[in-house]
């Protein structure tokens, strides 16, 4: 690259941690349990929950309110799905709680996550972690996988009081690592929050799709680069 890089900011879920696989594993355990009692097919219930979740999270303004109340949001979505399918909504709290337990049990870092952080640290880059969501949940993930030691700054929405794409999040992170926007990159999977937020304040941004996300026809933001995986693509992009 023609311009040196001083700092790299990372999203957490589905960038460093494989939340999709954890979600699939959790529903794979929880839904058969519930379906046996509710008298329905697990896949029917899964589709109903998926539809309700899509509607619930479609409004980005509304999402900002519920991101720090994920347990409540999940229970609302599940209850709506049960009602639409004519099933007992009283099962919503139990389903939501079991999902959270199984998701945690299935959650793992991507294989290239830690090696990427170690490599970039060894090259002298300053690193930041910018994650939306509730403070206890996100802080718990960070501590569980020992991620805090890799970062010069960690900004959690539930602790900071604002989340991506707020300019305040990126401004705070830049000040913490003493970098200017043109010398920093943001890496994340969310085109609206990660890419749009970063680009709006002058950072360069790399969208990581992990070979399972499709780039939409009308994206909310356009990244400078697209990555299928962190290694070897990100170090090559950064010239590290």
Q: What is the dihedral of CA 113, 191, 72, 37, to 10 degrees?
A: -80
- Three-class SS state of 71: helix
**Annotated catalytic sites, by residue?**
11, 13
DSSP, res 152: S
What residue has token string 């950064």?
238
d(CA 26, CA 48): 16
Helix 42-56 vs helix 19-38: angle between axes, to the nearest 10 degrees? 130
Instruction: Give the number of other CB atoms < 10 A from CB of residue 171.
Output: 12
Pick left, alpha or beta for residue 117 (phi over 0 → left; psi -120 to 50 → alpha; otherwise beta): alpha
Sequence-distant (6+) residues with CB within 8 A of 26 are 99, 102, 103, 105, 106
Q: What is the dihedral of CA 20, 25, 28, 34, to 10 degrees?
A: -100
């Amino acid at each position: 690259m023609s311009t040196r890089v001083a700092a790299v900011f990372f999203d957490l879920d589905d960038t460093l941690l494989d939340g999709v696989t954890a979600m699939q594993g959790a529903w794979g355990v929880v839904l058969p349990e519930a379906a046996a009692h509710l008298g329905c097919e697990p896949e029917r219930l899964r589709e109903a929950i998926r539809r309700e979740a899509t509607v619930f999270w479609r409004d980005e303004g509304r999402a900002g309110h519920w991101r720090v109340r994920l347990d409540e949001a999940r229970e609302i979505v599940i209850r709506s799905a049960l009602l639409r399918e004519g099933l007992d909504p009283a099962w919503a709290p139990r389903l939501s709680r079991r999902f959270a337990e199984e998701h945690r049990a299935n959650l793992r870092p991507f294989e290239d996550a830690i090696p990427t952080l170690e490599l970039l640290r060894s090259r002298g880059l300053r690193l930041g972690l910018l994650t939306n969501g509730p403070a206890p949940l996100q802080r718990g993930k960070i501590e569980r996988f020992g991620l805090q030691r890799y970062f010069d700054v960690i900004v959690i929405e539930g602790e900071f009081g604002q989340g991506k794409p707020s300019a305040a999040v990126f401004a705070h992170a830049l000040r913490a690592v003493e970098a200017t926007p043109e010398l920093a990159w943001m890496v994340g999977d969310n085109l609206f929050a990660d890419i749009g937020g970063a680009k709006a304040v002058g950072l360069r941004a790399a969208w990581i799709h992990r070979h399972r996300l499709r780039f939409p026809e009308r994206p909310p933001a356009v990244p400078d680069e697209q990555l299928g995986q962190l290694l070897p693509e990100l170090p090559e992009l950064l010239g590290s």
